[in-house]
């Protein structure tokens, strides 16, 4: 009699086998007298295409009147793109259909997609054997053993399976029907290399990029002036920019920014003032600005930061994070949407922090926490904000000599974020100099780190100029050394980079900077952390968008055409980030 464990990847199966003491390996599985550990290779099965249900649907143009097509019962088939893995599917089916199999253990990734991979294999094999679930959050030996010994009945994960199946079937219905309609009616006579394809998440994401592109293309450049003056007082020198007093800014009108001069008479008044004999007087104020320590990463925030720091694509970050989890066992499960930790981990975190101190770069920060204690405990540990997975953190295992390049960079970033999250706030001294003459103000602000707090771990430079010395008095008589009027034109906003696009996808098209509001939007975005990178890559592969050398994303003519035609038909609902985000929230609830 044997228990059969199904992992999602060969490498995970090997790790489980080592921990559970299973040493004999065959071409398709590891085995002992009472335990067999086999593996899928991602999705071994997929839903059949429409023409496999009804031959009339083979000809897309002639079968339009049969749409929308929704099967009475969805059916599975071996994945057409994975012919070499059919042998593995056959082997798994044979293992779990054997009379000696008394339990099937799901050890696929602890998420909706992992649940779908496993349940499709069970459905395809028509197995009736009792099933349990290993919920793997980390790939350390202790975590693997804990997950195996604490495996739960599969019925506890029925809702997760239902959400996975519902999402897959909803995407099939929209994608299969929509793509046929798009290919039939939305093509022009010109072949622009664009593959017409619609999808619930894909098309709404494309709409975000298209709207930004249309905003840029429709921008009308408007002229304005700026004036900057070089000042000296005592042994201090700095440059400051003219700013309008009591300015009221309209965020939709860039010309209303306080430093932009749009009227000739206002420019002439400033020129006259600068040429007059009256003196400048500078007043300096100080205020404290608190910068809260960061939360630990979820996948999306990790992808955003890696894109901002190193211009990494979302796919590259996910691949490296998966490698740190699967291969090196250095970090926890990466495909998470939570930035918090479960409360029962409080005691183990101290051990992890101590272990990180064995690394030279991290030793001072680990030691500081051991001496001063952990800050932000009630914020970082919050069961109500941990769903299937907790935040991405180090496991405490030390890197071996083979950790180089991308893996080393991302690992250090995750470690520093983890250590920083338990440090105090950073406090900046914001120094503002306002130099005034005849009711005109010239303003310069610098930020000086007064209490480093968590910025010891993730440093950020002061913005203080080289000759920014103490003023001889406050207020202080000031001399203007030189001034420059610059004539400029308003520029369109920048194209989206992946960091910004990921943020918009996470919040269903909304720009949200407030951390509390962003947390309230969890689960209501486009796709999931695990699927957003693939969505972007699919849009590029289908020539709906292109990635520039700068890393920004632009919509192609084909992408713009698709969105504009969908809105004109109108079936604009499929382009709506809010509606698609609401569907995702229902699947997650």
Q: Tell which residue, 534, 303, 551, 497, has the closest CA to residue 413.
A: 303
Which letter does DSSP use for residue 299 in this model? H
- The length of the chain is 589
Task: Find the catalytic residue in 148, 297, 325, 333.
Answer: 333
Which letter does DSSP use for residue 495 in this model? P
Beta-strand runs (E) in 370-523: 426-437, 440-451, 476-489, 496-497
* Per-residue tokens: 280: 């400048």
Residue 386: other Cβ atoms inside 10 A: 18
Q: With both helix axes pointing from N to C terminus, report the angle between 86-97 and 112-125 in degrees, rounded to the nearest 10.
A: 70
Residue 470: other Cβ atoms inside 10 A: 12
Would you say 505 and 525 are in contact if contact means Cβ atoms under 8 Å apart?
yes
In the chain, how long is the greatest CA-to-CA distance? 101
333 catalytic? Reply is yes
Q: With both helix axes pointing from N to C terminus, report the angle between 158-185 and 577-588 in degrees, rounded to the nearest 10.
A: 150
The owner of tokens 């985000």 is 581
Q: With both helix axes pointing from N to C terminus, report the angle between 529-541 and 200-217 in degrees, rounded to the nearest 10.
A: 60
Which letter does DSSP use for residue 80 in this model? T
End-to-end CA distance of the chain: 38
Q: Which helix (H) or strand (E) holds 352?
A: helix 346-356
Distance separating alpha carbons of residues 397 and 329, to the nearest angstrom: 7
Active-site residue set: 333
């Amino acid at each position: 009699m044997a228990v059969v464990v199904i992992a999602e990847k060969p490498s995970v199966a090997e790790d489980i086998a080592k921990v559970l003491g299973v040493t004999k390996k065959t071409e398709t599985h590891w085995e002992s007298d009472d335990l067999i550990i086999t593996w899928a290779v991602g999705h071994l099965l997929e839903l059949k295409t429409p023409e496999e249900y009804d031959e009339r649907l083979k000809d897309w143009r002639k079968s339009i009147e049969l749409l929308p097509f929704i099967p009475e019962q969805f059916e599975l088939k071996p994945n057409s793109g994975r012919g070499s893995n059919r042998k593995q599917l056959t082997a798994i089916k044979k293992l779990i259909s054997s009379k000696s199999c008394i339990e099937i253990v799901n050890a696929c990734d602890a998420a909706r997609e992992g649940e779908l991979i496993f349940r499709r294999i069970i459905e395809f094999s028509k197995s009736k054997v009792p099933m349990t679930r290993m919920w793997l959050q980390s790939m350390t030996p202790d975590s693997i053993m804990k997950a195996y010994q604490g495996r739960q009945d599969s019925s506890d994960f029925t809702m997760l399976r239902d959400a996975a199946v519902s999402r897959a079937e909803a995407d099939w219905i929209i994608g299969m029907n929509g793509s046929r309609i798009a290919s039939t009616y939305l093509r022009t006579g010109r072949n622009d290399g664009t593959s017409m394809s619609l999808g619930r998440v894909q098309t709404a994401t494309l709409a975000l990029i298209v709207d930004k592109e249309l905003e840029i293309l429709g921008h009308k450049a408007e002229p304005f002036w700026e004036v900057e003056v070089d000042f000296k007082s005592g042994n201090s020198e700095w440059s400051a920019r003219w700013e309008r007093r009591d300015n009221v800014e309209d965020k939709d009108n860039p010309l209303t920014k306080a430093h932009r001069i749009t009227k000739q008479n206002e420019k002439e008044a400033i020129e006259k003032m600068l040429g007059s004999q009256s003196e400048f007087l500078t007043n300096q104020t100080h205020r404290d600005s608190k910068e809260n320590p960061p939360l630990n990463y979820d996948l999306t925030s990790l992808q955003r930061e890696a894109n901002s720091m190193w211009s990494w694509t979302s796919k590259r970050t996910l691949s490296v994070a998966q490698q740190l989890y699967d291969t090196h066992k250095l970090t926890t499960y990466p495909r998470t949407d939570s930035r918090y930790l479960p409360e029962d981990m409080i005691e183990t975190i101290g051990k992890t922090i101590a272990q990180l101190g064995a690394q030279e770069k991290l030793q001072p920060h680990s030691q500081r926490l051991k001496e001063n204690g952990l800050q932000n405990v009630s914020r970082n540990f919050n069961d109500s904000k941990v769903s299937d997975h907790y935040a991405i953190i180090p496991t405490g295992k030390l890197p071996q000599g083979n950790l180089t390049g991308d893996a080393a960079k991302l690992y250090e970033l995750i470690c520093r974020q983890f250590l920083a999250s338990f440090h105090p706030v950073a406090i900046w001294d914001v120094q503002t100099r306002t130099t005034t003459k005849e009711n005109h103000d010239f303003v310069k602000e610098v930020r000086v780190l007064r209490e480093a707090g968590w910025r010891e771990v993730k440093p950020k430079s002061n913005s203080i100029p080289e000759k920014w010395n103490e003023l001889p008095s406050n207020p202080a008589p000031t001399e203007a050394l030189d001034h420059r009027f610059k004539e400029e034109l308003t520029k369109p906003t920048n194209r989206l980079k992946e960091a910004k696009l990921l943020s918009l996808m996470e919040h269903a098209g909304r720009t949200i900077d407030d951390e509390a509001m962003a947390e309230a939007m969890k689960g209501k975005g486009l796709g999931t952390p695990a699927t957003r990178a693939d969505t972007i890559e699919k849009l590029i592969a289908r020539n709906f968008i292109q990635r520039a050398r700068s890393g920004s994303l632009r919509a192609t003519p084909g992408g713009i055409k698709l969105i504009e035609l969908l809105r004109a038909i109108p079936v604009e609902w499929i382009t709506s980030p809010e509606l698609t985000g609401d569907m995702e929230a229902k699947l997650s609830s």
